[in-house]
Amino acid sequence: MANLLELHQSASSRQPSWSFSFRSDRHYEQLNHLSHSSLRMRAKDSRFPKHQLVENVLSLYEQRFSYTFLSVSSSTYAEIADHVLGPFPACIRQAIRSSHPVLPSIARESHPLYCKDIRSSIMDAIALVPAEDILILRSSLLIVERTGSGGVHYVSTGNNCIYSKHLFKLLVSCFQRDFHALYTLQDEHLVDICLAENAMKRLSVDFDIIGCILRILAVRGYPTSVLLKIHAISLAADMALEQNHTENQKKLAELVRLGQTWPQPIAQSTVLSCVEKFYRNIQYSPPHICASCGSEDRDRTGDFINV
């Protein structure tokens, strides 16, 4: 099976089949998450309702694609998308790039970054990044602070709305949600998304599954400082798993050795033979005592005699 880098090289010369679908539910979903002011392309757009601004953005998107596709010689998604999305503000470009259809998930072996046991390590790592990066991450994840009867709590208003009274706990939950959504995609789809969002050069990490996911998250607003610390945690967790695997292999080999040298169960025929001999040897034999010397006659003559 081809690795991710080979898949990326083969896919970089083509468009994903779903790249330029327009007015899909995902487009509306992503753009509707933006504020009214973020969707304004012109000064007079302030008088339009939000749904009309979304329609205006998508109409311009379609027009630019029709023009660019005819004028640009390259047929790769990333290069065409750069031309198509050029005049849009950064927030709209990112929303359109992220408007992928819901792709089918696959079963993968659970990764440590999605386990509950590692949440505290990720939380400690996030706590060490600069405060301005935390603000960037909050903005990217659409996290707002609300005050209610239970006090202050934080809410992620994006997909799969989640909340917590602790900001860092919510940030970790959002990361694990986003990580798992990408981790359970097929390799081909993961590479397609990396190409579609032009994420290849965002981080200097290996281009494996985890590296590909972290690159995509970098494009989606996760600060580099946060992702590099999470990548370090991932490497440490993988090393610990490898050490545990080696130790488990040693224990298994020792169990096999003990199994080969351990006393074997006694055969049923041996058990029955021993029982038979035991029964025979405990039977009582009446003695023949000599009336003169008081000893058993067979001790003297070897024969039994009637007394």
pLDDT digits (tens, 9 = 90+) for 280-289: 888 877 766 6
Segment 114-138 mean pLDDT:
88
Quick one: which of 126, 104, 122, 103 has its CA closest to 112?
Answer: 122
Long-range CB contacts (< 8 A, 24+ apart) of 72-76? 75/13, 75/14, 75/15, 76/12, 76/13, 76/14, 76/15, 76/195
Mean pLDDT of the chain: 78
> What pLDDT is stored for residue 69 in this prediction?
53
Whether residue 181 lies inside any domain: the answer is yes
Percent of the chain with pLDDT over 70: 80
Q: Which amino acid is at 274?
A: C
Is the domain of 260 the same as that of 285?
no
Q: Determine the average pLDDT of the residues in 227-254.
A: 84
- Which two three-digit tokens encode residue 146? 């609300």
Band the pLDDT of 154: cuts 50, 70, 90.
Answer: confident
* Domain shared by 252 and 291, yes or no: no
In this structure, is residue 8 part of a structural domain?
A: no
Rounded Cα–Cα distance for residues 197 and 100 (Å): 10
- Is the same domain home to 183 and 141? yes
188 lies in some domain: yes
Which of 67, 99, 131 lies at the terminal end of a domain, its last residue? 99
Residues 47 and 171 in one domain: no
Would you say residue 3 lies in a domain?
Answer: no
The share of the chain scoring above pLDDT 90, in percent, equals 2
Same domain, 259 and 283: no
pLDDT score for 132: 92
Residue 232 has pLDDT above 80, yes or no: yes
Report the pLDDT averaged over residues 58-81.
65
Looking up tokens 């849009």 gives: 88
For 248, the enclosing helix (H) or strand (E) is: helix 224-261
Range of the domain at 294: 268-300
* Spatial separation of the C-alpha atoms in residues 105 and 113, rounded to whole Å: 18
pLDDT reported for residue 21: 62
SS3 category, 105: strand
Alpha-carbon distance of 229 to 90, in angstroms, equals 25
- Amino acid code (one letter) for 87: P
Q: What is the DSSP letter of 109?
A: P
Is 108 found in the same domain as 56?
A: no
Q: Are 187 and 260 found together in one domain?
A: yes
Q: What is the pLDDT of residues 191-202, one digit of tens each?
A: 888 877 777 777
Number of domains in the chain: 3
Phi and psi based region of residue 294 (left: phi greater than 0; alpha: psi -120 to 50; beta: remaining): left
- Claim to verify: residue 254 and residue 159 sit in the same structural domain: yes
Q: What is the pLDDT of residue 143?
A: 84
E strands within the chain?
143-148, 151-156, 162-164
Task: Name beta bridge partners: 164.
Answer: 154
275 and 254 in one domain?
A: no
Dihedral over Cα of 83, 80, 65, 213: its sign: negative
Residue 6 lies in a domain: no
Given a cut of 50, whether residue 1 has pLDDT beyond it is no
Q: Of 36, 141, 162, which is closest to residue 98 (Cα–Cα)?
A: 141
Is residue 76 located within the same domain as residue 206? no
If asked whether residues 26 and 173 sit together in one domain, one would say no
Q: Are 36 and 21 in contact (CB under 8 A)?
A: no
Burial 196-212 (b: 16+ CB within 10 A, else e): bbbbbebbebebebbbb
Same-domain status, 124 and 255: yes
Residue 74: predicted pLDDT: 47
Nearest to residue 64, comparing CAs of 33, 100, 20, 30? 20
